[in-house]
Structure 1
Amino acid sequence: MKDILIITSYFPPEIGAASNRIFHLAEGLQKRNYKVSVLTPLPNYPTGKIFKDYRGKFSVTSIEKGITIHRLWIYASISKNKVLRLFAMLSYSFSLIWYFLFHKIPKTVIVQSPPLLVAFTCCTFLRSNKRNLILNVSDLWPIAGLELGALKKNFAYDILERIERSNYKKANLIMCQSEEIIAHIKTIFPNKETILYRNYPDFESPVACSTFENPNNKIKMVYAGLLGIAQGILKLCQELNYNPIEFHIYGAGAEQLQIEEYIKTHPELPIIYHGELSRVELHKALLKYDIGIIPLLNRIYGSVPSKIFEYAKLGLPMLYFGGGEGEAIISEYQLGWIAKAGDYADLNTILASLERSSLNESLKENIKASATRHFHFDKQLDTLIKRL
């Protein structure tokens, strides 16, 4: 049985795309007779506080579904203070270095990036001619930070670019979440070995058991996920035309309190915030809705929201409002509608043109069938294993 180590900043019981992606990767490798171990911080995302069951502990090791999970100390924070955010990232890097010094590291290691500094720590300390070092790049930093407005072109940005290049250079193989990420890496290292590894979900789609009563015949539109700056859900609440729709929201994040306050001060608007649900519960809840919206406040080069593949497997029609490669996927596989990124007038025009009767079971079954044909988690993982 071949040993493999996965190093990530996000892992269950944390919620979100990054956590789910790495869990499915670890579980898939374990089922294919790999001895899988995971290095991850004590769970704290997205609240920025260590989860209750892990507080007061320096490290926790457990075995879950045959996977050995080592949870290491981190100074958890979601503060907007850049110094505190930097210290939070460095604290996990320090814990990783401590672990590397006192433990035997397998010959095959998969490292999640971003965060860049964590990936840099791993690539620097674990690089060896005897080790197969694989970098799993889900977003392009520092470019994404620049497009989100979180970073500016300055000396610090130049340093992050050098760290990015260093990580790519040291990796033996780079797993890329999008074609745009592959293209970007090839402009820096044309001969670097890469593989397209999408965030395809691995779950059994539940059977729909009920739907909302709909006396007003409005379209029930849902957003489920991180309520962060990049998603722009607060702005969406402010800009939507509610004549044809009700808007239902699930999730947590930096904008949560502002969204709740906006709903409270605008009781006339049909916006319903449902809080957080477990992934299993959320999948069941999503089946009640007519359409799911996938927004990004700004188009982010290299990013493909994993909700596309999650919603497709559930058969939920999508309204994509984020630009970039996601538009091509929605269009190519006939998963829903596309609104011009950042154009709320176009978004509202599309919503006004939809008829609830067209968002029927036939459409949903066609979307599920398209996902089954094209978004193969097992085939994708088998392709990766051939290159480990």
Structure 2
Amino acid sequence: MKDVLIITNYYPPETGAASNRIFHLAEGLQQRNFNVSILTPLPNYPQGRIFEPYRGKFKHTSKEKNITIHRLWIYASNSKNKFLRLLAMVSYSFSLVWYFCFNKIPKKVIIQSPPLLVAFTALFFLRSKNRKLILNVSDLWPLAGLELGVFKESFGYKLLQRVESFNYKNANLILGQSEEIITHIKSQLPDKQTFLYRNFPNFETPPPIPKREFTNGKFKIVYAGLLGVAQGIYKLCKELNYSNIQLHIYGAGAEQKMIEGLIKSNNDLDIVYHGEVPREILHKELIKYDITIIPLLNRIYGSVPSKIFEYAYLGLPMIYFGGGEGDDIIKTYRLGWVADVGNYNHLNKIINQISTNQLVYDYKCKIQSEAFKSFNLDKQLNKLILEV
């Protein structure tokens, strides 16, 4: 068996696209005759506190599904304070260095980025002609931070650009989850070996529900995911026209209290907040809805929300409100409707044009069938192991 180490900031029992992506990668490699081990912080995301079973521990090692998981100490925080968030990244970087000093590291290492500083630490300390370092880039930092308003074009931003460039140069192979990420990397390093590795799902898919009655002519739109600044769900709640829709929300995050307060103080907004539920339960709930919405507050170059592929597997029609490459995927595979990112008038216009006659069982089955054919994780993994 080939040994491979995966270094990541996120891993189950943490929830979200990042932890799911790495878990499916680890599981897929293990099933293809790789001896997989994971280096990750003690679970803390998205609450910003170490999960109850792991509190008071400096390190925790376990074996789950034949994968060895080393969980290292981190100063956990989800604060909006930039210093505290930086401290959290640096603390995990120190834990990584400590681990590197006292443990044998395999010849193949997969490193998740972002966070940039964590990836930099791993690449800097593990550089070796005899070791293959594979960088898995899921978002383009610091560029994404600039587009989100997290950074300004200052000395700090330029420093992070140099860190980004160092990471790309010192990786032997770069996995990018979008064509835009690959293009960005190739613009800096034309000869760098790259591989398009989409965040395809892997779960038991329930069949679409054949028929649902529409109450008062309204159809039900659902959002499920992180209630963070980038998603802009609080603004979405305020801007939607509820004349023919009811909005249902699942998830947790920085905007949760604001959304709960908005619902409580505005009875005219037809919104139902369900809180956070486990993923396996969420899938059974999602197929009860007519349509889902995938929003981003601003277009983020390189970003393709993994929800696109997950919801396609559920046969759930989508309204995509994020711009960029996601628009093209929705249109190419006929997965739903696209509204201009940031243009809430256009979004409401698109919603008003959707007929309940379009949200039929046959359409949902076509979406699911397309997903099984075009977003196949096993086929993608079989191609990847030839590169690794």
Q: Which category describes the TM-score, using the shorter chain as reference length? A: over 0.9
Identity of aligned residues (%): 66
Alpha-carbon distance, 1:207 to partner:
3.6
How far does the alpha carbon of each residue in 1:170-229 deviate from its partner, in whole angstroms, 9 at most, with x for none?
000000000000110011111000000000001110245697764313110000000000
* C-alpha distance after superposition, 1:56-86 (max 9, x if no partner): 1111100111110000000001112211111
1:59 matched to 2:70? The reply is: no
Number of the residue aligned with 1:73: 73
Q: Which residue of 2 aligns with 1:18?
A: 18
> Would the aligned equivalents of 2:208 and 2:361 in 1 still touch at CA under 8 Å?
no
Shift of residue 334, structure 1, vs aligned partner: 0.4
Task: Kindly provide the CA deviation profile for residues 23-65 of structure 1, in whole angstroms up to 9, marking residues without a partner as x.
Answer: 0000011111111000000011011111111111111100111
CA 1:223–1:386: 2 relative to 1, 3 Å: same
- The residue number in structure 2 matching 1:4 is 4
CA distance in 2, matches of 1:384, 1:324: 25
- Residue in 1 that maps onto 2:363: 363
Q: 1:49 to 1:210 in 2, by over 3 A?
A: farther
Task: Summarize the alignment of residues 182-331 of structure 1 with structure 2, pairs less than 5 Å apart.
Answer: 182-208=182-208, 214-331=214-331
Aligned residues: 388
Greater alpha carbon shift after TM alignment, 212-221 vs 320-329:
212-221
| Partner Cα distance (1:85, 1:215) in 2 | 45
How well do the aligned residues superpose, as a CA RMSD in angstroms?
A: 1.1
Distance, in Å, in 2 between the alignment partners of 1:285 and 1:304 is 23
Alpha-carbon distance in 2 for matches of 1:158, 1:211: 54
Q: Distance in 2 between matches of 1:210 and 1:327?
A: 27
Q: Which residue of 1 aligns with 2:162?
A: 162
**Aligned partners of 1:60 and 1:71 also within 8 Å:** yes
Q: Distance in 2 between matches of 1:298 and 1:64?
A: 38
Distance in 2 (CA, whole Å) between partners of 1:168 and 1:354 is 44
Normalised by the length of structure 2, the TM-score is 0.98
Q: Please tell me whether the aligned partners of residues 208 and 314 of structure 2 are also in contact (alpha carbons under 8 angstroms).
A: no
* Equivalence for 1:124: 124
Q: CA deviation at 1:268?
A: 2.2
- Letter in structure 1 aligned against 2:385: I
Give deviations 1:238-292, integer Å, cap 9, x for gaps.
0000001000000011101100110111122110000011110011100000001
Deviations 1:337-381 (A, max 9, x none): 000111000000011111122101101000001111111101111
Report the equivalent of 1:377: 377
- Amino acid of the residue matched to residue 149 of structure 1? G
**SS in structure 2 opposite 1:358?**
coil
Cα distance change on mapping 1:211 and 1:90 into 2, 3 Å:
farther
Runs of 5+ in structure 1 lacking a partner? none
TM-score, with length taken from structure 1: 0.98
How far apart, in 2, do the equivalents of 1:209 and 1:334 lie? Answer: 19
Whole-Å Cα distance in 2 between the matches of residues 243 and 350 of structure 1? 13
Which runs of no fewer than 5 residues in structure 2 stay unpaired? none
- Secondary structure, in 3 states, of the residue corresponding to 1:334? coil
Q: Alignment partner of 1:92: what SS? A: helix
Distance 1:215 1:53, change over 3 A: same
Contact kept, 8 Å, 1:208 with 1:284, in 2: the verdict is no
